Amino acid sequence: MENQGKKMLESAQALIKETAKNLGFDEEIIKRLIEPEMICEFSFPVKMDDGQIKVFKGWRVQHNSLLGPYKGGIRFHPQTSREEVQALATLMTIKCAVAGLPYGGAKGGVLVDPKKLSSAELERLSREYVKKIAHFIGEDIDVPAPDVNTNPQIMAWMIDEYRKIKGYQSKATFTGKPVAMGGSLGRTEATGRGGVIVLKALLSELVKDGSTKILSRLNSSLTLLKQKVSKNFVLPSFNNQKLKSNNEITIAVQGFGNVGYYFAKIASEAGFKVVAVSDSKGGIIKPKGENMEALDIPLVMECKKEKGTLAGCYCAGGVCDTKGGKTITNEELLELPVDILVPAALENVINEKNMKNIKAKIIIEMANGPVTEEAYEYLSKKGVVIVPDVLANSGGVTVSYLEWVQNKAGYYWSEEEVNSKLEVMMKKAFEAIWEKASKKKIPLKQAAFEVALERIVAAMVG
């Protein structure tokens, strides 16, 4: 994983350097955009249930604070590395700037397989980690949150330990907490919901006159999608307004965890036709003649929880049929003839090996870095519209910001109010990127990085 983390870091830094040079920034500014402001690397002991002491390695990388306090999750993973954590902190700086949030970027990590720990060991690990970073974080300094293999319960342990160390309560120091401890309503669904908001904003632009300025290499399949969208699309809000019932805009979602599930569920509620989903073991479709039937996403989840697998959960129209569908691999899902592809699981799943087989006209990057640079270049030249991860999956950090605001104000919003604020902020973030992409006739990813770097550099003094 160290090599992979190194590659991820080099890729992120190269993209920032290239974008900064295109914007005419000098070498010293580029250095400030690339180099982390602080890297905390440490080892810490944890008592195991059998009485033995085990030593773990941890990091907290604070990349950039020009726009505000550092912001970023903490991951527990058996293959994480300093390079990976630094790369993710760098990308958090970009993501927060893209989302228009008053935050810089950070990330934390512990080299551990949490699945091998008991609940008590996991709690002790979480508390010992906080002891190492407590003097480097704070509600106006650095605000951690959950990431891979961490969750609201772990945040609860961490904020309790932080309170003991500091001697006072500071709910706003951590986000992604349980609601009872000051967490925000709507946070669980936020990343998936944000992705659907961006998708709807993109489609609404596609139906406007002159919107094809951004799509200088518009291929025939995307032209057909535009016609389909124009015929069926009504921009929904969250008052249960849906796409027309004859809508045929098809979506395949790879990944059925928190992000993928809620994207699929909320997209279905908005009237999109989600025809394929998958988890780490594989996926499912329900063929209907030459087409595929829309899956009933909440029922699929119920079935999966009951069976422990997606296989056989061919749920559609309120009914689950164990024989009416077909299992597919994750690789096959990516190559389905759908309008919109949503990789919401692992990085680098769309690469030089399968890029020529991708049939979707739009890709929404809900996972971090699901499309390699080679595949990105190839698909962009083909006219595929790729919504970059730094925009598509920024709904989570946006609602984390709303949680932080609520904690600092001591005033809490309803879930409907949170969702409404998320929609406004995500649309605003998308519009800034779409405007730059249209004006300069560049891909959305390049536009996103340009918008982010311009915002960060504008905050530099001297």
Give catalytic residues, as residue numbers. Answer: 107
- Helix pair angle (27-34, 444-458), 10° resolution: 100
Neighbour tally for 221: CB within 10 Å = 16
Compute the CA torsion angle 125, 131, 137, 142 (nearest 10 deg): -10
Tell me phi and psi for residue 167, to 5 degrees: 85, 10
CA–CA separation, 383 and 361 (whole Å): 8
Alpha helices in 23-65 (DSSP H): 27-34
Q: How far is CA 427 from CA 25, 197, 338, in A?
A: 28, 7, 24
Q: Are 152 and 177 in contact (CB under 8 A)?
A: yes
DSSP characters for 117-164? S-HHHHHHHHHHHHHHHGGG-BTTTEEEEE-TT--HHHHHHHHHHHHH
With residue 373 as reference, give the H or E element that holds it.
Answer: helix 373-381
Residues in CB range of 359: below 8 A, 6 or more apart: 221, 335, 336, 337, 338
* CA 88 to mean position of chain CA atoms: 12
Q: How far is CA 2 from CA 29, 93, 139, 160, 311, in A?
A: 28, 21, 31, 32, 34
Collapse the DSSP code of 309 into the 3-class scheme (helix H, G, I; strand E, B; otherwise coil) and give the result.
coil
If you search the block for the tokens 């070498």, which residue do you land on? 27
CA–CA separation, 253 and 262 (whole Å): 10
